[in-house]
Chains A and B, each alone.
Chain A
């Protein structure tokens, strides 16, 4: 079955291309701790937000990065689970090369808040990774619930021309022409497949809503 073989080999190549950057690196982790009482909300935690070296390079090169969080509260039902509520917020970070600072902005429900600006990406990252207590709480006492947290990280305004310009500027210094070409092809493939937007999920254990 030559067609099958072709398709499978192409799929394998894509898997390898996608898996390679994940190898030997820390991984973005998301967590939600259910509320201990009826009066307090769940705590959202995140770690290694800039684990992807490509994204780290983009931010360090001055491209704004958007980290869009969505916390969902699901109620375990009879046949289907019901989405009882959700909360979204977005953190945006950009490096200002002239001031040599990383500025962080939070957007939520149309409200824009200036979180501050920081000297290093690690510092900004530690601010972004601070545990957050949400006000998304179960409504039905005694019912079974769980939280779902998703995070989409993407570089904003990265056009192909920007990418090309970065290559021409030699932003990926230290590599050979072949590695730059390989990296470029992989980046192009990832962009074509939507891989420039990184999607992560996490889930809390199922719990009973406290009374």
Chain B
């Protein structure tokens, strides 16, 4: 014990000398935040199980039931404290195997040995000592006036956001040809409860392309209430009422990419439909790597007409028609599992990213959207279907400066009746096999599953899709020096990566006997029928510029495209 105490004293001396050395030129302050001082004093005065103003040792195998508060320690813990340990102007030494079920709060001291101990609650350490006076058995804090910053500081410690009632004005989705920019406006009520939070938001959704110009009001809504238990991990229960516009496939490109392509170049890579209804959601985040969500909803779907929102370029061209999709009412049950072991979500170098979704729905299709010939029979009336989607990505580091990344996507019909158009898929455009132009495949088109005459807007019609993507990335550092010898400055500098990639994928039908794109429910299409391409590019992390060439259709011209962030 003496050794440990000596070590602590040495630690304090080193820390103090270091701090003093800093203070000579840094003017560091040693004031304890005022509300921390108040909190500490309140906790000390309220502690009943064990309150000591001296050195304390809790030996191995001994248990203190309740909270412990120590003034002018030090404190040595080898046993167990079932409550909180508060150490004021005292160092804490935790022996291996020591256990504190509640929080450990240290003011004016250090903690040693926390790696080998179990702390059930939060561990907080403040180096500045508490200045206090005594009134009988009670402590009274002596503080200087310290406004404002403490609120931020305390919020940070608690890991939560401040309670608030505010007006939210935010984007409600990507810029698109059926809404323009959807903007949600409404009040948000947020309450941090300590064990979690409550949040209620009631937003009107205004659409720049239709809310202010049409004769009928085109204003949607999204009302959501949620209760979350836990902070980093925990359970979220939520309920939603909505009248929104959704995209059919949002897995090809990010919202930012789709929105910018539409707003800048008048190219909308998504199709849209209206959703109106409500649903209940439950989400569990069990570990750092896994979360699981369930949802059940009752909703009406309808077609969404194309509008004419303004764009930066190509204003003289007309938009691609938004396809007329199925209308009807659906009861949908959905489950989603996400497994993410990537070392970095922004720039992953190793790990898995897996998203698996399952949907089971029943409903009535009241009006069927047009499709290519032979894709399906007119499917009005009752319907019942099951659908799945699996996206698996693996990131591998080959050398310190190179990675080899692989992605596989499978999705589509699993059982029941043919899928409604809103739930069908495609392998088309820069997010999948970019060597092929978007919505330009010739019949039979394995990208959108159309054969012969195509429906207006060329909707995604495939009932199943498969996609494989492979990419090799190698670090690239560009630097143009200023010309000054020995200067640390650069005229231009950019860090990024060379990217070489290959893709293969296609879609097919399973409930359309007689159609050349029908492969059947139990079979996979021959590999020779897949769209394939290769390409290369330069990725500057924030965005990348690429060139892709189709291999399976050599006549396809080379495509140049830009992606924001990485391809996957």
Binding site for B on A (CB under 8 A): 1, 3-4, 6-8, 10-11, 14-15, 18-19, 22-27, 64, 70, 72, 74, 76, 79-83, 86, 92, 94, 96-99, 101, 103, 105, 107, 110-114, 116-119, 123, 126-127, 146, 148, 150, 152, 161, 192-195, 197, 199, 201, 203, 206
Main secondary structure, interface of A, reads: mixed
Partner of A80, one of B25, B153, B398, B489: B398
Select from chain A the residue with minimum beta-carbon distance to B264. A10
With A14-B543, A15-B540, A194-B565 as known contacts, state yes or no: A24 contacts B482, CB within 8 Å: yes
Is A116 within 8 A of B350, CB to CB? Answer: no
Q: Is B65 an interface residue (CB 8 A)?
A: no
A200 to B27, CA, bound (A): 30
Residue of A nearest to B111 (CB): A111
Q: Which of A10, A86, A112 contacts B124 (CB 8 A)?
A: A112
Please tell me if the beta carbons of A81 and B148 are within 8 angstroms of each other in the complex. Answer: no
Q: How far is the CA of A111 from the CA of B126 in the complex (A)?
A: 11
Residue in A15, A86, A119 whose CB lies within 8 Å of B343: A86
Task: Determine the distance from Cα of A100 to Cα of B25 in the docked complex, in whole angstroms.
Answer: 16
Q: Which residues of A contact B256 (CB under 8 A)?
A: 192-193
Cβ of A26: which chain B residues have Cβ within 8 Å of it?
488-489
Q: Are A110 and B122 in contact (CB under 8 A)?
A: yes
B29 within 8 A of partner (CB): yes
Please indicate the chain B residues that have their CB under 8 angstroms from the CB of A119 in the complex: 26-27
Given contacts A6-B265, A19-B493, A193-B543, contact A112 B343 (CB under 8 A): no
Cβ of B195: which chain A residues have Cβ within 8 Å of it? none
Binding site for A on B (CB under 8 A): 19, 22, 25-31, 33, 114, 122-128, 146-149, 152-153, 156-157, 169, 256, 260, 264-265, 313, 343-344, 346-347, 349-351, 396-400, 404, 482, 488-495, 540-543, 545, 560-562, 564-565
Q: Which of A8, A103, A127 contacts B149 (CB 8 A)?
A: A103
In the complex, 22 of the A-B residue pairs with CB atoms within 8 angstroms, ordered by the A residue number, are: A4-B560, A8-B545, A11-B562, A14-B543, A18-B542, A19-B494, A22-B493, A27-B488, A80-B397, A86-B343, A94-B149, A99-B146, A103-B149, A103-B153, A111-B125, A112-B122, A114-B125, A114-B153, A116-B29, A126-B26, A150-B347, A192-B260
Q: Find the A residue at minimum CB distance from B23.
A: A116
Known contacts A92-B156, A113-B125, A113-B127; 8 additional CB pairs below 8 A are: A18-B494, A26-B489, A79-B398, A82-B350, A110-B123, A114-B127, A117-B28, A199-B346
Do B540 and A18 have beta carbons less than 8 Å apart?
yes
Expressed in whole angstroms, the Cα–Cα distance for A53 and B260 within the complex equals: 27
Distance between Cα atoms of A72 and B148 in the complex (Å): 37
Contact B397 A23 (CB under 8 A): no
A6 and B313 form a contact (CB under 8 A): yes
Known: A4-B560, A6-B265, A114-B126. A80 touches B396 (CB 8 A): yes
CB atoms of A199 and B347 under 8 A apart: yes
**Once the chains bind, are B27 and A193 in contact (CB under 8 Å)?**
no
A118 to B25, CA, bound (A): 10
B561 contacts A7, C-beta separation under 8 Å: yes
- Given B27, B157, B564, which contacts A112 in the complex, CB threshold below 8 Å? B157
Instruction: Compute the total of residue contacts between A and B using a CB distance below 8 Å.
Output: 154
Q: Looking at the complex, which one of A27, A110, A123, A192 makes contact with B26 (CB distance below 8 Å)?
A: A123
Q: Which 8 A-B pairs rank lowest in CB-CB distance, beginning with the nearest? A: A96-B149, A116-B28, A119-B27, A81-B397, A123-B26, A4-B560, A111-B123, A80-B396
Chain A residue at smallest Cβ distance from B314: A6
Q: How far, in whole Å, are A94 and B153 apart by their CA atoms in the complex?
A: 9
A96 contacts across to B, CB distance below 8 A: 148-149
With contacts A6-B265, A99-B146, A194-B565 known, is A27 near B490, CB below 8 A?
yes
In the complex, A111→B125 CA distance in Å?
7
Q: Which A residue's beta carbon lies closest to that of B18?
A: A130
Q: Is the CB of B540 within 8 A of A83?
A: no
Q: Are B489 and A24 in contact (CB under 8 A)?
A: yes
CA distance A11 to B31 in the complex (A): 51
Which residues of A lie under 8 Å from residue B29 when comparing CB positions? 99, 101, 116-117
Cα–Cα, bound, A195→B125 (Å): 34
Chain B nearest CB from A192 CB (Å) reads 6
Can you name the residue of chain A whose Cβ is closest to the Cβ of B494? A19
Report Cα–Cα, A206/B400, bound state, in Å: 9
Q: Could you tell me the distance in whole angstroms from the C-beta of A128 to the nearest C-beta in chain B?
A: 12
A203 cross-chain contacts in B, Cβ below 8 A: 400
**Residues of B with C-beta under 8 A to A103:** 149, 153
CB of A127, distance to nearest CB on chain B (Å): 7
Residues of B close to A193: CB separation below 8 A = 256, 542-543, 564
Check if B156 sits within 8 Å of A112, measured CB to CB: yes
List of A residues within 8 angstroms of B400 by Cβ: 74, 81, 146, 148, 203, 206
Question: Looking at the complex, which one of A8, A114, A123, A199 makes contact with B27 (CB distance below 8 Å)?
Answer: A123
Point out the residues of chain A lying under 8 angstroms from B482, CB to CB.
24
Question: In the complex, what residue of chain A is closest to B350 when comparing beta carbons?
Answer: A83
B398 and A81 contact, CB distance less than 8 A: yes
Instruction: Name the residue among B22, B264, B565 with the largest chain A CB count within 10 angstroms.
Output: B22
Q: Which of A107, A118, A199 contacts B541 (CB 8 A)?
A: A199
Chain A CB count within 10 A is highest, among B30, B152, B346, for B152
Query: Nearest Cβ in chain B — how far from A67, in angstroms?
Result: 14
Report the nearest A residue to B30, measured CB to CB. Answer: A116
Q: A152 near B346 (CB under 8 angstroms)? A: yes
Residue in contact with B25 in the complex, picked from A23, A112, A123, A152, CB distance below 8 Å: A123
Chain B residue, CB-CB nearest to A204: B400
Beta-carbon contact of A150 and B344 below 8 Å = yes
| Contact B562–A10 (Cβ < 8 Å) | yes
Q: Which residues of A contact B541 (CB under 8 A)?
A: 199
Q: Which residues of A contact B152 (CB under 8 A)?
A: 64, 94
A8, A27, A94, A99: which contacts B493 (Cβ < 8 A)? A27
Q: Determine the chain A residues whose CB is within 8 A of the CB of B264 once the complex forms.
A: 10
User: Of all chain A residues, which has the CB nearest B493?
Assistant: A22
Inter-chain CA distance A117–B26, complex, in Å, is: 9
State the CA gap A103–B149 with chains docked (Å). 9
CB distance from A166 to the nearest CB of B (A): 17
